[in-house]
Structure 1
Amino acid sequence: MRRDTFLRTMAALAAAGALPLTARAAANVKMMIPANPGGGWDTTGRALGKALQDAKVADSVNYDNKGGAAGALGLAQFANSSKGDPNAMMVMGAVMLGGIITGKPPVDLKTLTPIARLTSEYNVFVLPANSPLKTMADVVAQLKKDPGSVKWGGGSRGSTEHIAAAMIAREVGVDPSKINYVAFRGGGEATAAILGGNVTVGGSGYSEFAEYINSGKMKAIGVTSGQKLKGINVPTLKEQGINVEIGNWRGVYGAPGITEPQRKALTDMVLAALKTKSWQEAMEKNNWTPAVLSGPAFEKFVDDDFASLRATMVKSGMV
């Protein structure tokens, strides 16, 4: 085979995603983060981007933050601007599923290409350091007295902390539809509101609040895990007599219209990134739990989680 013909053949195979990672040039990845800087999706997307480069499957990673509507704004932009792009990916997770259920945006996940689930993280509820309330029992007592006086701050409407707040209300005998939930476009905004005392109680993944909890600027009063988390001295809601358990998983999707070989290539890139030292360090630093799932198993998981979340939200009076 002539050299020019060979090179054209190799280029065509690479474009189709049919070559092994070691035979392809590293990609220039476009990473959609459908949230403002400072939150869990942002941290996940940037940690993954670094890991992709450390694994030498990406030459560069360009990040695009587009927050709002539980990720629906970023989802719509990604769906419309990245069609057929084998190097585009979007961070997503349970929060986006909840937002789709409540917001019913015109674009949903079925237009995109499932790649992999990466991590799972439980939510922690916190109080501002100067709050007159000191415990979850204090919050519950105030909630029973006047539901609207307790301002719950967290991610977008339909986020896991929003669902958890509604579940807490239901479990303690308060109408979930009466909770006063303040939604923020990103973790940074929610953190500022909590530190400023603009909400009564805040909720998010532990990693987003860890530095403020450790410095005493926030007081952690409960986590949504079934058992106490390793290395974290915070009681679960169940330990406090509130039968609520809910996790927050995060993953990545590819662009609409990519081929099966391109999907496999993108999946292989992500799985390679998850083996790097930098990704393992991010997992430990952020107290993320490994929850890797790819291929048809991930696609089925998302479908099942949609159904489960919808049932929980209906039961909690959210939809």
Structure 2
Amino acid sequence: MLKSILTRGAVTALALAGLTTAAFAQLELKIMAPAAPGGGWDGTARSMQQALTAAGIAKSAQVTNVTGAGGTIGLAQLIGAKGDGHQLMVNGFVMVGAILLNKSPVTLTQTTPIARLTAEALVVVVPTESPVKDAKDLAARVKADPAKVTWAGGSAGGADHILAALFAGAAGGDTTKINYIPFSGGGEALAAMLGGRVTAGVSGYGEFEGQIKAGKLRVIGVSSPARLANAPDAPTFKEQGVDLELLNWRSVVAPPGLSAEQVKTLADAMDKMAKSKEWTEILKARGWDDAYLPAAEFATFLKAEEARVAKVMKDVGLIK
């Protein structure tokens, strides 16, 4: 009799554990990349999709793209999905700046912070046939006439735009006169460069890696404090005499109005993903730094970063 009761108890405990695991594995997520396919946010969203499903953390993870206004159109849609505990949106440094530059009526303070995921150094590239050979060449051109140097990058007010302005400042040029052309996706910026329509392009190294290795693009410099492990031949700006460092971070937020249980489910999913071997392999392949911060710490970081980005944008003349 006692043996039977113990057996039933053990079975019940195992069943409950199984139900918990099964319930988590049934998680169905919608991940928004608020930009066109081919860019950094899109790459992050699809990498999340891959890791979450391969690691068994989510049953499904559907990626959608919503373009426009530095991601603020997608942000408005996310805020409109109040209470939806299955929705996530990729964002980052770029969106913080775009909100300020576009004087957006919606802001990240209206969302539910879930996690910071990655950090990535930016790279400046030119077509291989360009007369610009290194950072010193580009700095000399920018100092002489900033308006004649055209830059291709992501959304206005984002990390790419700020880097172009900071480069002009470090070169001794007028930061308010830079000629920056924003594109909604990395593919469009790449086409503009290869077509000779711009002087230089700015993005994360991973977005240009294929064209760099194919010999179609030349690296002018990277914005990290040290050379990248996956690009040891690419010089930093600092080692070329240009005093410039900048890291682009990416994160995920959820809609407003979530219950504590909904927030915990999403936060736990991101925590499991960030610690999974599948995500670690993706970080290595993409050349992204692991910059994981859980929900509470990310919320604190985001508040401080919004103040820091506003100061930088004012200093370089992007906003008043």
The TM-score, its normalising length taken from structure 2, stands at: 0.90
Aligned partner of residue 244 in structure 1, secondary structure:
coil
1:272-293 deviations in Å (ceiling 9; x for gaps): 1223333222111110000000
Counterpart residue identity of residue 257, structure 1:
G
Superposition deviation, residue 150 in structure 1: 0.4
Preserved CA contact (<8 Å) 1:21 1:265: no
Preserved CA contact (<8 Å) 2:135 2:242: no
> Counterpart in 2 of 1:16?
none
> Counterpart in 2 of 1:5?
none
Superposition deviation, residue 231 in structure 1: 3.5
> Counterpart in 1 of 2:157?
158
1:43-90 deviations in Å (ceiling 9; x for gaps): 11011012111222321122110122111111112221x211111100
Alpha-carbon separation, structure 1, partners of 2:281 and 2:25: 26
> Counterpart in 1 of 2:260?
260
- The residue correspondences of 1:87-126 to structure 2 (distance < 5 A) are 87-126=86-125
- The residue correspondences of 1:1-319 to structure 2 (distance < 5 A) are 21-24=21-24, 26-80=26-80, 82-232=81-231, 233-319=233-319
Counterpart residue identity of residue 210, structure 2:
E
Preserved CA contact (<8 Å) 2:118 2:250: yes
Preserved CA contact (<8 Å) 1:187 1:208: yes
Preserved CA contact (<8 Å) 2:128 2:218: yes
RMSD value, Cα: 1.4
Alpha-carbon separation, structure 2, partners of 1:213 and 1:235: 14
Task: Provide the aligned length of Structure 1 versus Structure 2.
Answer: 300
Superposition deviation, residue 144 in structure 1: 2.0
Counterpart residue identity of residue 103, structure 1:
N
Aligned partner of residue 224 in structure 2, secondary structure:
coil
Alpha-carbon separation, structure 1, partners of 2:23 and 2:230: 42
Superposition deviation, residue 307 in structure 1: 0.9
Question: Runs of 5+ in structure 1 lacking a partner?
Answer: 1-18
> Counterpart in 1 of 2:9?
none
Aligned partner of residue 153 in structure 1, secondary structure:
strand
Superposition deviation, residue 211 in structure 1: 0.8
Alpha-carbon separation, structure 2, partners of 1:188 and 1:159: 17
Counterpart residue identity of residue 31, structure 1:
I
The TM-score, its normalising length taken from structure 1, stands at: 0.91
Counterpart residue identity of residue 30, structure 2:
K
Counterpart residue identity of residue 56, structure 2:
K
Aligned partner of residue 59 in structure 2, secondary structure:
strand
Question: Runs of 5+ in structure 2 lacking a partner?
Answer: 1-18
Preserved CA contact (<8 Å) 1:27 1:60: yes
Counterpart residue identity of residue 60, structure 2:
S
Alpha-carbon separation, structure 1, partners of 2:48 and 2:185: 19
Alpha-carbon separation, structure 2, partners of 1:115 and 1:257: 13
> Counterpart in 1 of 2:16?
none
> Counterpart in 2 of 1:15?
none
Alpha-carbon separation, structure 2, partners of 1:295 and 1:303: 12
Preserved CA contact (<8 Å) 1:26 1:56: no
Alpha-carbon separation, structure 2, partners of 1:44 and 1:262: 22
Aligned partner of residue 220 in structure 1, secondary structure:
strand
Preserved CA contact (<8 Å) 2:140 2:171: no
Aligned partner of residue 261 in structure 1, secondary structure:
helix
Superposition deviation, residue 22 in structure 1: 5.0
In the superposition, relative to structure 1, how do residues 253 and 138 fare at CA in structure 2: closer, same or farther (>3 Å)? same
Preserved CA contact (<8 Å) 2:78 2:254: no
> Counterpart in 2 of 1:12?
none
> Counterpart in 2 of 1:10?
none
1:95-138 deviations in Å (ceiling 9; x for gaps): 10011121121111111100000000000000012212222211
1:201-240 deviations in Å (ceiling 9; x for gaps): 0000000011111111100010111122224211111111
Alpha-carbon separation, structure 1, partners of 2:316 and 2:84: 39
Preserved CA contact (<8 Å) 1:54 1:273: no
